[in-house]
Amino acid sequence: MAGADGALRCPWALSTEDYVAYHDEEWGRPVHGDDALFERLSLEAFQSGLSWITILRRRPGFRKAFADFRIAKVAAFTDEDRARLLLDEGIIRNRAKIDATLANARVLADWAPGALDELIWSHAPEPGPAPKTLADVPAVTPESTALSKALKKQGLRFVGPTTAYALMQACGLVDDHLETCVARRA
């Protein structure tokens, strides 16, 4: 669909300016680095059951609350930090998701540098044909199921196959921009 500027974009990206910017500048672009991937993984987990725009608009609050998603810093959060997060109106105050984020940071803090990046990117599928419509974009794939299992096996939480696929989309492991979308990689 054409946006206000006449450029063709994925239809989901046209409902708000926040989505247009996210779609054009971030979604589907390769993301590397353990902290950057931990942020995306955490935000995708918080999104579960909610709209992405809710998370996107609260991302500055999440970054402030979770020390810019620096794994070592979040892993060191105390019970007082957890209590603070549960009261922080700048984030989603879901106890299970907060606890999962803290637990995931503690697991990841013991990993060698680059290990999260390596694990996630090892599940990138071979590029396939560009989707023509949103109906051609899956919610789960064999690769996202395998990634979910690998993350869970390592002790990570809130990383089901659907969340894993959303992570793969957001971090550029797959390019699900529609065939005619201006943001699709060549």
Among 22, 26, 111, 121, which one carries the catalytic annotation? 22
Q: Catalytic: which of 12, 52, 111, 121?
A: 52
Q: Which of 120, 127, 185, 186 is nearest to 154 (CA)?
A: 120
Q: Are 77 and 103 in contact (CB under 8 A)?
A: no
Name the residue with tokens 């300016």.
17
Catalytic site includes residue 179: no
Sign of the torsion formed by the C-alpha atoms of 53, 57, 61 and 63: positive
Query: What amino acid occupies position 104?
Result: N
44 has catalytic annotation:
yes
- Exactly one of 19, 39, 44, 165 is catalytic; name it: 44
Q: What is the identity of the amino acid at 82? A: R
Determine whether 52 is an active site residue: yes
Residues identified as active-site: 22, 44, 52
